[in-house]
């Protein structure tokens, strides 16, 4: 039984990861400061004998004894990470320093949940791991983009300087149950607007593209990466390479929800990437992974989750 720390463990991805690790026989310590995470996401685990929940902010050091560290702590949607941009950068950078220091002290393997945002508004399509990106260092998204880029730098410097056992994954757009209903991300936005019978907001002309990976597929590859052979550090792109325009996604959501929502166009936000699609060749070749859940099937599960939130009055 591995003693495993999940930072950001009460968040969207973290809570699903905790579920999976417990099923796999881990002793799980879930750490979260509940800025975007929610106790509701892990309430069903509180009675589990091998699950522990701790309120803690990773910008402060943590002293625990563990063998595996999944570092997922950081607000990941523009609405949340732009709310307090200085704190967002601190969470990525100080959080990485503190978790790397912990991993060094206890000789733990550590995985960094990085992001496709390290590629910025890319000139290479689809994005491969060797592409260095095109990021605005002083824009309103920079607190997140550059914070995550700096965290990757720290991970690789700890690997080179201290021979730390690191893993780095770059997560592309992911969706599914337990997404925050008001996080401003396109899937949750479209579903909540459709369920409430509101018009659906399309930024720009709707031709910009994203690739959407269902949460179960993503957790599977994160676990595979953590248990891959020592020395295979990544970074590894993880996401679904099937690309959709915003208009296509909106039409799918309206069709699945039903109702009479119309599309309303608004100006494109600053530094919003035009295209985002992962090349998952490395994940496929080295980890034997590729996503299996079709967008329509994943959307049905996600719509059902948000519908229950609205019925319970928990989506305010």
Residue 287: inside a domain: no
Residue 277: inside a domain: no
> Angle of helix 12-23 relative to helix 215-226, nearest 10 degrees?
60
- Mean pLDDT of the residues in the chain: 94
Q: Is the pLDDT of residue 78 over 90?
A: no
Mean pLDDT to the nearest integer, 202-207: 89
Q: Is the pLDDT of residue 157 over 90?
A: yes
The answer to whether residues 21 and 165 belong to one domain is yes
Residue 285: inside a domain: no
Examine the residue annotation and report whether 144 is marked as an active-site residue of this protein: yes
Q: Indicate the range of 74-78, 151-155, 270-274 predicted with least confidence.
A: 270-274
Report the 10 Å Cβ neighbour count for 199. Answer: 13
Q: Is the pLDDT of residue 315 over 70?
A: no
The answer to whether residues 17 and 96 belong to one domain is yes
Q: How many domains does the chain have?
A: 2
Residue 281: inside a domain: no
The answer to whether residues 152 and 191 belong to one domain is no
What pLDDT is recorded for position 271? 60
Residue 280: inside a domain: no
Q: What is the DSSP string of 72-95?
A: --S--SHHHHTTSHHHHHHHHHHH
**H/E element holding 270?**
none
What pLDDT is recorded for position 316? 58
Residue 73 to residue 6: CA distance in whole angstroms:
8
CATH number of the domain encompassing residue 258: 3.90.25.10
pLDDT tens digits, 291-312: 999 999 999 999 999 999 999 8
What six digits make up the tokens of 208? Answer: 């910009």
DSSP strand pairing (200-203 vs 263-266): parallel
CATH number of the domain encompassing residue 140: 3.40.50.720
Given 119, 144, 158, 214, which residue is catalytic? 144
The answer to whether residues 205 and 80 belong to one domain is no
Query: What is the percent of the chain with per-residue pLDDT over 90, rounded to a whole number?
Result: 79
Residue 9 to residue 19: CA distance in whole angstroms:
10
What pLDDT is recorded for position 270? 66
**Contacts with 177 (C-beta within 8 Å, 6 or more apart), sequence order:** 215, 301, 302, 304, 305
The answer to whether residues 89 and 163 belong to one domain is yes
Domain span including residue 268: 175-211+242-272+293-312
pLDDT tens digits, 65-75: 999 999 999 98
What six digits make up the tokens of 296? Answer: 């329509």
């Amino acid at each position: 039984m591995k003693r495993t720390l999940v930072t950001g463990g009460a968040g969207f991805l973290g809570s699903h990861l905790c579920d999976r690790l417990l099923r796999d026989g881990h002793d799980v310590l879930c750490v979260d400061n509940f800025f975007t995470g929610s106790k509701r996401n892990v309430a069903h685990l509180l009675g589990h004998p091998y699950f522990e929940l701790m309120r803690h902010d990773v910008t402060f050091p943590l002293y625990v004894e563990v063998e595996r560290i999944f570092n997922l702590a950081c607000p990941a949607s523009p609405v949340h990470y732009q709310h307090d941009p200085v704190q967002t950068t601190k969470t990525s950078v100080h959080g990485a320093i503190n978790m790397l220091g912990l991993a060094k002290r206890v000789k733990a393997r550590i995985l960094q949940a990085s992001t496709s945002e390290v590629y910025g508004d890319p000139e290479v399509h689809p994005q491969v791991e060797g592409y260095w990106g095109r990021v605005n260092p002083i824009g309103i998204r920079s607190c997140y983009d550059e914070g995550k880029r700096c965290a990757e730098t720290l991970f690789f410097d700890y690997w080179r300087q201290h021979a730390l056992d690191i893993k780095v994954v770059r997560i592309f757009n992911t969706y599914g149950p337990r997404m925050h209903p008001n996080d401003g991300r396109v899937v949750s936005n479209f579903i909540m607007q459709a369920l409430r019978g509101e018009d659906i907001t399309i930024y720009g002309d709707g031709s910009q593209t994203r690739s959407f990976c269902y949460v179960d597929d993503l957790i599977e590859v994160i676990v595979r990466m953590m248990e891959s052979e020592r020395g295979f550090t990544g970074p590894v792109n993880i996401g679904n390479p099937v690309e959709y325009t915003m208009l296509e996604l909106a039409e799918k959501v309206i069709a699945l929800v039903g109702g009479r929502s119309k599309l309303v166009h608004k100006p494109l936000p600053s530094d919003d990437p035009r295209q985002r699609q992962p090349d998952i060749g490395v994940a496929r070749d080295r980890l034997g992974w590729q996503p299996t859940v079709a967008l329509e099937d994943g959307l049905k599960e996600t719509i059902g989750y948000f519908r229950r939130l609205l019925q319970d009055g928990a989506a305010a």
